[in-house]
Structure 1
Amino acid sequence: MTSTPPTTYVLETGCGEPLRLNFLWTKDTVTALDLLPAFFSVADAIHTQSRRDLAEMGKTIGCGPGCSTCCHQLVPVSEYEALHLAKIVRSMPAPQQDRITRRFMQAITALEESALLIPLTDTYANHAHDKHRAAEIRKRYWDLKIPCPFLEDNCCSIHAHRPMACRQYLVTSDPARCSKIYSSEQSHEIVLHSFDTGGALASFSGEGIQNSRILPHILSLLAERSIRRQKYPSLSPQQMMSRFLMILATCFARKA
């Protein structure tokens, strides 16, 4: 039996060495949901490069274990990631699954009681690119002080499976500044990576580019059933990764 060699992809970053990404595919056809771990690997490679570039400039990442202020923000996720998060919850041991599910439901109750649930769902469903409206919704959500359901002992309990938005969010400033992100005293320094992998994933249909389809992470369990009704395209993993990287490079590269 002959083994299949890994497929190598080269992602030009616009400055410095290009990223070389190697994947060993084991399936003939996949959906974007199947390839989500590989997309996460792409993001992690980009963010590792960001760390190296910052180190060369004498800057370090302020984020780390126990630093959980950002885990109270509203996290935008793609539909693929919403299904992924729901699957993670369903696969947990019963006591943990009950605990995490209860937190999701408590968050929904808090949104309903604050009259934010309907504006929140409407904004993400119909006005996601209205920056002013989205910023207002994020601020209102922040004011409710809702912790991420996966936050346990001030650490992410699903760190290896966290969404793109969480992977991308890094600061070089003192983590203490993050508590003032929606105030006039805001002074934290967010890292801008060479590519917006979260935006690319939300705009990837599995075949090509689509209008961005995102929702708040806190609605992942509620939205699971309706999202699963959709039929996602199947391609060879080589084709799908090539198309994702093309969209990432051509539409979601940040200008230097």
Structure 2
Amino acid sequence: MELCRDYFPTRAYRIAEMRLGSLLGGERDRLDLIAEKLGRDYAIGLDNLKEELPNIISFAREYHAAYDLYLKAVLPQQDKPIQCRAACGNCCHHYPMSVEPFELIFLYQELRKSDDLITVMESCRRRADMFNNLFEKRLEAVNSEDEAEDQALHDYFAQWVPCPFSDRKGDCRIYGFRPVSCRMYFSQTDPCFCRPETLLTPQNESYIVYLPDNIEEALIGISEHYAGLELPESYFGGLVSMNAFEGVLG
């Protein structure tokens, strides 16, 4: 389900959309200027990543806060109440994609503060390898990357492997730092139906709260300025790639 201004022209929605647009537009303009001064297409590279870290972290925090306000404006307009609750964790068996590079950088910086960074990175690597193997198998059969990815994502979910950041109860241990890809998923039916066997059935009424097109365009413009880092858009694969930058981060 795509939620946009056509369905939610409320004052709260307009304010939330304007805040997101202003925030993202300002960051895109800032990165455009840096790239122009550096004389290249991207603004953030290994040569200036450490220098840019404070700006990246600050922006990621603001982006997450602005998106949460956007959700507060959108979700009350639904015809059915949200059934998601603490310690559910069923949706945390998916393989998250479309994670923005600045979110990966922000989260990795937070993970570096913990004592179990190596263990977490090993868990992320195993999950990334699992998905890549599933994708390669599907690609051999369908010869279409988009279709192979969709099928591999479902295959991964069917394996029922929990997110490395889920605790034994099913709660997220990094809830405040999780990317928008994790924040945008909701269900209007009981969490027991958010499982592989019922995911694609009428029993499951889950949806994603997408951003308006103009906001998505601004995000694309921002992310293009991180192309020099060559970070995958996948959650776990992206964090593994960030781990390779330890020598740069200092």
Q: What interval of TM-score do these two structures reach, taking the shorter chain for normalisation?
A: 0.5 to 0.7
- In the alignment, residue 166 of structure 2 is paired with which amino acid? L
- 1:215–1:194 CA distance, 2 compared to 1 (3 A): closer
Give the unaligned 5+ runs of structure 2: 24-29, 31-51, 139-143
1:230-245 map, 5 Å: none
Deviation of residue 174 (structure 1)? 1.4
- In the alignment, residue 19 of structure 1 is paired with which amino acid? I
Distance 2:246 2:101 in 1: 9
- In the alignment, residue 50 of structure 1 is paired with which amino acid? V
- 1:181–1:203 CA distance, 2 compared to 1 (3 A): farther
Instruction: For residues 136-180 of structure 1, give each alpha carbon's deviation from its aligned partner in whole angstroms, at most 9, with x where no partner exists.
Output: 120121133221111112110010111101110011111111114
Q: Give yes or no for the alignment of 1:159 onto 2:171.
A: no
Q: How many residues align?
A: 198
Query: Residue 247 of structure 1 aligns with which residue?
Result: none
Distance 1:73 1:194 in 2: 17
Q: Give yes or no for the alignment of 1:69 onto 2:90.
A: yes
Question: Helix, strand or coil: the match of 2:187?
Answer: coil
Query: Residue 102 of structure 1 aligns with which residue?
Result: 122
Question: Helix, strand or coil: the match of 2:222?
Answer: coil
User: Does the 8 Å contact 2:84/2:191 carry over to 1?
Assistant: yes
- 1:135–1:199 CA distance, 2 compared to 1 (3 A): farther
User: Does the 8 Å contact 1:50/1:194 carry over to 2?
Assistant: no
CA RMSD in angstroms, aligned pairs only: 3.9
Q: TM-score, normalised by structure 1?
A: 0.62
Give the unaligned 5+ runs of structure 1: 1-11, 121-125, 230-256
Of residues 68, 75, 81, the one that matches 1:44 is 68
Q: Give yes or no for the alignment of 1:16 onto 2:33.
A: no
Distance 1:158 1:180 in 2: 24
Deviation of residue 110 (structure 1)? 4.1
Query: Residue 35 of structure 1 aligns with which residue?
Result: 59
User: Does the 8 Å contact 1:178/1:188 carry over to 2?
Assistant: yes
- 1:224–1:167 CA distance, 2 compared to 1 (3 A): same
Question: Helix, strand or coil: the match of 2:160?
Answer: coil
Instruction: For residues 46-75 of structure 1, give each alpha carbon's deviation from its aligned partner in whole angstroms, at most 9, with x where no partner exists.
Output: 111122212xx3x21111111111101010
Deviation of residue 83 (structure 1)? 1.9
Per mean C-alpha deviation after superposition, the further-off stretch among 30-39 and 80-89 is: 30-39
- 1:60–1:184 CA distance, 2 compared to 1 (3 A): closer
User: Does the 8 Å contact 1:72/1:147 carry over to 2?
Assistant: yes
User: Does the 8 Å contact 1:100/1:149 carry over to 2?
Assistant: yes
Question: Helix, strand or coil: the match of 2:109?
Answer: helix
- In the alignment, residue 236 of structure 2 is paired with which amino acid? I
Question: Helix, strand or coil: the match of 1:187?
Answer: coil
Query: Residue 169 of structure 1 aligns with which residue?
Result: 185
Deviation of residue 202 (structure 1)? 5.1
Distance 2:63 2:176 in 1: 13
Query: Residue 217 of structure 1 aligns with which residue?
Result: 235
Of residues 141, 164, 174, the one that matches 1:149 is 164
- In the alignment, residue 152 of structure 2 is paired with which amino acid? I
Instruction: For residues 10-50 of structure 1, give each alpha carbon's deviation from its aligned partner in whole angstroms, at most 9, with x where no partner exists.
Output: xx9451212254999xxxx7755540111111210111112
User: Does the 8 Å contact 2:92/2:166 carry over to 1?
Assistant: yes
1 or 2 for the larger relative contact order (CA 8 Å, sep ≥6)? 2
Identify, as 1 or 2, the structure richer in helix.
2
1:72-151 map, 5 Å: 72-76=93-97, 77-92=99-114, 94=115, 96-108=116-128, 110-111=130-131, 115-116=133-134, 127=145, 130=146, 132-151=147-166
Distance 2:112 2:69 in 1: 29
- In the alignment, residue 40 of structure 1 is paired with which amino acid? H
Question: Helix, strand or coil: the match of 2:194?
Answer: helix
User: Does the 8 Å contact 1:69/1:179 carry over to 2?
Assistant: yes
Identify, as 1 or 2, the structure richer in strand.
1
Distance 1:135 1:184 in 2: 13
User: Does the 8 Å contact 1:86/1:220 carry over to 2?
Assistant: no
Identity, % of aligned pairs?
17
